[in-house]
Structure formats: structure tokens, C-alpha cells
Structure 1
Amino acid sequence: MVLLENLSIPSFTAAVRAFFAAEGIVTVEDFLLHDLHKFLAVAEQSAVCVDVKEAVVEALSYLENLQEKWKDGLGLSQQPVGYLSLGCESIDKLLEGGIQEGTLTELVGASSTGKTQICMQAAACAAYNQQCSVIYVDTCGAFSSQRVAHMLGGMLGSLLQVEEQRTELTLSLKSIERIAVFDIFSLLTFLQGTYDKLLTESENWRLRLLIIDSVSSVISPVLGGNHSQGHALMISVGQILKKLAARQRLAILFTNHTVAGIGGQPRPALGGSWKSVPHTRLMLSHDSPRSDVYRMSILKHTGQCCSRQTTFRIGRAGLHSFDTREVATGR
């Protein structure tokens, strides 16, 4: 059996190891079989609460990465990498193809920085260009079928006759299923139900993209205050999202708001415990409310340096390229 203290995890300090051991968690097997909800609830009453939460997140991430390496070594993960285009040349170029299947992509930004617009265009592109099913989890009532229709209309352009356009538009809209979810418990129930359905109907269900706009609006209310199990619930959301992405090869896109960081600079909300969840983290900004030009910067990416950004426009028919350049973002 592998002892937890033998893993290369910086947050496993002597105090944290002692707390784990007091709860009967000494080996990796103990950790994987333990009820993390109850464990983190107990940790809330401890002086090392923050350190324990960080150690749990790092351990889960470490073991997940180790599992992927084992799969690669056994030749079990040789599927070609797939990407879903966002229908905007500059953004697709920045991401080297678009949203990567089998990974979690997070859009971070303040209000009115284009997060929902990107989500709706991603849904429209996947439904029309990839002819696949899309689930759009709407947690704040921002989804607009009319807006998606405008985006689809821009993609169809004048290449088709009017009747053909109507047919394609109708088929694409039907491929996008909007789900209204307004609390974290409903979100967890929905995600688990989706996972179970994919296990039994994966051959008949062409689901390739799952969007949650926004994940922070259902997680933030249960963090802090008297909600002692808030972090455990947040970790559960991250776990099942990663499980959906990895095992079902889904591209998962979700949004997160910003909070004030050092010097007043915006930083992603939900804290350090959430930081390891997304594989790709993209920061959105909008310099002037009078301008239609927006900026996307890479904060985190599995295969790229975090010093690249691009600008794009948001018009009536959706997102359009502006220009692409590499700069030091300083983040």
C-alpha cells in the first residue's frame, strides 16, 4: 500500500498528515475509500482547515494525473485529440483549434465581458458544424434562444436557400438542450444523472459539449458563513465534471466571475481549492462599454504558455476576429 506521505504533494505537512491519520486516512486506499464530504465537514472545526482542504484538492489532482499517465503507458488513451471550434478565427487560433474534448475550460471575467456570448456561440457551433448534441446549463437565466438563432443565421449566411436555412436552423436549435439549475444540489443531481445516462446510452447520444453558465453563481452561495460543507460540495462538482470529461470525452465549458485580488486586480473567484479544477483557464476583459472589442488571455493551459492573448468583436451575428498577438500578461 502507498502511504499518503510518500506522494509528492507539498501541502501534506506534518500537521495535515496528523489530521488525516486521526481520521483513519494513512494510505492512498484509505483516502480513495473515505467519505470526503464527512471528512471535510470535520475539517471545518479544525485549526488546519484551510491546509486540509488544499491537501484534498492537490491529492485528487495528483492521483487523477497519475491515472492518466498509467492509461497512456498501457496504450489505453490513444484516441486523437478533438476540438470544438468557437466559430471565431482569432480565438480558435489562440486555443489551437478551439475547446479541447475531454477537458474542462473555464471562462473568467467580470460582468459584460462576453462570457455568455462565447458560451452561446460555442453551443451554436457545436450543434451546426459538428452536428452533435449540446447541453446548456443556465444558472442565472442568461440563455437566449433568439440570440443563438442570430448566431446560427450568421453561420448559415447566404450559402443556403431560405427553406434550407430554416431547416438547418430548426435542427441546430433542437440539438441544444437548455437546463435551468439554480442551486448546487440541483446541479450535482443533474451532473450525476447525465453521467449515468452517458454510461448506458453513449452510443446513441451524440453529446459532445456541456456548458455551465455560470458555475460560480451556484457555488459561491454555499461557501463561507455557516455552510460548513460548502467546500466539500464544491469539490464534488469539480470531481464529477472531471469524471464526465475524462471518461466520456466531453468538452466542458463553464463560466466564473472575478473578485478583487492584490492591488485591486481581478482574479478568478472560488479560491485556491477550485484552481486545480479547470484544465484551461481564460480571462476575459472589456476595456470600454462603448467598444465592441473584447480581450481573451490565457491564464492556464495544459499545452501552452500563459503569455498569449487575442482580441475579438461581438456583433449581432456573434463573435468575429479582430487580431491575434502574443504579449506578457503579467498574470
Structure 2
Amino acid sequence: MDWERLNLDPRIINAVKKACVRSAKDILSLSSPGLQRLTHLSRSDVHVLRTAVAAEHRRCRPVTALELSLGEWSSLQPGHRLSLACPVLDELLRGGLPLNGITELAGESATGKTQFGLQLCLSVQYPQDYGGLGSGAVYICTEDSFPIKRLRHLITRQSRLRPHVPPALIRSLRFSDSIYIEHAADVEALQACVSQRVPMLLERGLVRLVVVDSVAALFRTEFQADEAIERARHLLAFSGILHRLSNTYGAPVLCINQVSDVVDGPNPGRCDYGMVGSKVLPALGLAWANEVLVRLMLRREEACLRSGGQTSATRSLEVVFAPHLPRSSCLCGVWDEGVKGLPREGLETQPQCPT
């Protein structure tokens, strides 16, 4: 490291060089007493040294919990998140998916979880000015085959989903060429995929989004009830890789998850890890919940929505927990052009969807 570029007293720089400290990692990884013994500097000098090195290498200024809560940190604004291509959904998530950490989307079958994954694979390819990241996506399938027909249909409807984006920009994006599809048949194949092939795509700048559909399928089927410890070990290794990739490359990770039935406890209407009033919880238990930054849940309601001449089953998307979001929800539907949220006021509903 070039110590001369730091705004430090020459006496401190000479002490660091004399101690043969060559990198910022050596400064930040050692304790303050350890640096004092190594460099023979005073406690205050070591504090000045560590502060200067940290300021040189951190990507952004420190942020307080209050700033996170109020949404005042610049990197949490819409331009620094991955948009869901819908103003209502983006408002619920304060701009979209965070670029660092795992976002989980859980729900029962046929709630529309895969639709969200497909929509994000298209949204990530837009420039940052339009809520994207200007790169592709990798979609890892562990259950069903990849829904290529639905993806192609969504591509043809992008101008309807995004009417404010210039048509020339939409036509210039080669959506299909920027989505890399992986199939994992077992946990070993899944681990190899995220530890070997996905890092290559991220390092080359070919992708900035990782979607796993679904995270529970393999971990549920390959481990028996008496193998909970072994399952947790593999699950934590898998989530550790995802966290490392997300934090290293600033790539959001969306993990689609299944649900499990729960037995009513003393407070059946309250559930800190799932939707309020729901009798299901995201699968894989607390071991997985502790690895998730943002937990979202989808629920299919009885009534239907009508909008623009189309009818869709009503879905409720709820923020279960997140470090920067309150617990809240919105209604949404899966339409011909994609997933869109709708304000609760002024909705036209009907008791049942037509068959």
C-alpha cells in the first residue's frame, strides 16, 4: 500500500514502514493493542492510523440505524436498488430489492412467486436510470423446468409494463441472451453451481442478479427428519456462498421458498416469521430465516381483481421482516404483461375468478 497518499503524520508512516506493515488488511485485521506493540505507536496514533486506512478503503460513509429506518441513506434510494418495474411494489420495498444480501419470497403453490423471479430477470437488464443494473441474471431451477414460454411472452409485453421507457431502449435490449439458466438436481449440484459457475458470470460482469427457484426443494427432499444438523450445515454453507457473492459483486439474490403448515399457538393471529393470520410459514425453519435479509410472503386471496379489461386472482404481498422496512403489505395481480401492484382504494373486485 502507498502510505504516502494517506493524510498522516510522517512519524506514523515511518513507524508503519519500520514495522514492515505492507497492506491495509494488516492494519484493519490487527487489534489496537496488537498494532501498538508492532509499531511502538501510542494509542491515539494507532486510532488515527486505523481511521485513515478505513476511510481510504470503505466504499461509502458509515450509516446509522436511524438513517436506515428513515430511508435517508443514498444507497437505499430507488436508483441504488433493483426495481420490480411497478411503482406500487417499488413503493412497498422503498425502491426494490437491496443489492446486498438475500431476499426471500415465500408462498404456497400458484401464488405467483416464479412470475416475480422472471420479471426481475428482465428488470435487471435495464440501465440504472430505469431501475435496473445494466446486466443479466442467472436463474437456478431446482424443481420444475424453466418457464421459457412465459418469459418470451413477458419480453413481448415490456412496452405495456413499462410505458414510460423509450421504445427504442426496450428494442435495444437482448433480454433472452442475458438470462443464464442452470438446473440443479441435488444439493451437491446446487453447491457446485453457486460456488463455481455463478462466480464466473458475476466476475465477468455478465450478470448482477441471482435467482434460486426454489431453495427448499432440494434441502427438503435429500435430508430426513433425523438429519436436521446435517441439513443445517449444508444450508448455512449454501447461504454463506450467496452472501459472499452478493456482497462482493453488489448483486441482489432472490431465493424463492416453499411453505410449511404450522399449528396454532397461544397467539394464532400473530406470527413474527410469516404473514399475519396465515397458517403457513416459510420452509427450512430458523436456520434459514437467520440468513435472510428481507423476507417477503405471497398469499392468494379468494377474490379477483379487474384492471384494464383483465382479470387476475388477488395476491397479497407482505413484508414480513427487513432491517429498513416496516411490516406492511399491498395487493397485486399477475397480468398478461407481468406482476403489478394495485392500491387498495378504488379496486374493482369480484368474489370468484372465472374458470
Q: Report the residue type matching 2:329 in the other structure.
A: Q
Larger RCO (CA within 8 A; separation ≥ 6):
1
Contact 1:210 1:251 in 2 (8 A): yes
User: What is the TM-score when the length of structure 2 is the normalising length?
Assistant: 0.63
- Aligned position for 2:302: 288
Q: Report the residue type matching 1:246 in the other structure.
A: N
- Aligned position for 1:86: 84
- Aligned position for 1:215: 215
Range that drifts further, 254-263 or 89-98: 254-263
Contact 1:116 1:142 in 2 (8 A): no
Change (3 A) 1:223 1:299: farther
CA distance in 2, matches of 1:284, 1:125: 20
Contact 2:303 2:314 in 1 (8 A): no
Look up the SS of the partner of 2:175 in the other structure. Answer: helix
Deviations 1:130-188 (A, max 9, x none): 33110011111252222122222222348648xx97x546x111101111112111111
Contact 1:292 1:315 in 2 (8 A): no
List aligned pairs for 1:80-159, cutoff 5 A: 81=75, 82-128=80-126, 130=132, 131-157=134-160
CA distance in 1, matches of 2:89, 2:57: 32
Change (3 A) 1:149 1:72: farther
Larger radius of gyration: 2
CA-based RMSD: 2.8
Q: Which runs of 5+ in 2 are unaligned?
A: 1-52, 62-73, 265-277, 305-311, 346-355
Look up the SS of the partner of 2:120 in the other structure. Answer: helix
Q: Report the residue type matching 2:236 in the other structure.
A: I
List aligned pairs for 1:6-17, cutoff 5 A: none
- Aligned position for 1:299: 320
- Aligned position for 2:33: none
Q: Does 1:243 align with 2:244?
A: yes
Q: Does 1:267 align with 2:281?
A: yes
List aligned pairs for 1:146-185, cutoff 5 A: 146-157=149-160, 160=167, 168=172, 171-185=174-188
Contact 1:282 1:296 in 2 (8 A): yes
- Number of residues of Structure 1 aligned to a counterpart in Structure 2: 248
Contact 2:105 2:295 in 1 (8 A): yes
Change (3 A) 1:281 1:141: same
CA distance in 2, matches of 1:195, 1:148: 21
Contact 2:199 2:245 in 1 (8 A): no
Change (3 A) 1:152 1:273: same
Look up the SS of the partner of 1:250 in the other structure. Answer: coil
Look up the SS of the partner of 1:92 in the other structure. Answer: helix
CA distance in 2, matches of 1:124, 1:150: 12
- Aligned position for 1:26: none
Look up the SS of the partner of 1:84 in the other structure. Answer: coil
Tell me by how many angstroms 1:268 deviates: 1.1
Look up the SS of the partner of 2:253 in the other structure. Answer: strand
Contact 1:293 1:311 in 2 (8 A): yes
Change (3 A) 1:240 1:287: same
Question: Identity of counterpart residues, as a percentage?
Answer: 21
Contact 1:154 1:317 in 2 (8 A): yes
CA distance in 2, matches of 1:211, 1:324: 29
Contact 1:116 1:143 in 2 (8 A): no
Contact 2:102 2:291 in 1 (8 A): yes
CA distance in 1, matches of 2:172, 2:156: 9
CA distance in 2, matches of 1:98, 1:149: 23
CA distance in 1, matches of 2:303, 2:145: 19
CA distance in 2, matches of 1:74, 1:259: 47
CA distance in 2, matches of 1:285, 1:144: 21
Look up the SS of the partner of 1:229 in the other structure. Answer: helix
User: What is the TM-score when the length of structure 1 is the normalising length?
Assistant: 0.68
Tell me by how many angstroms 1:293 deviates: 1.8
Q: Does 1:276 align with 2:276?
A: no
Change (3 A) 1:273 1:172: same
CA distance in 1, matches of 2:293, 2:84: 17
Deviations 1:77-122 (A, max 9, x none): 4186221111122111100111110121000101111111111111
CA distance in 1, matches of 2:147, 2:198: 26
Q: Which runs of 5+ in 1 are unaligned?
A: 1-70, 326-331
- Aligned position for 1:47: none
Tell me by how many angstroms 1:128 deviates: 4.1
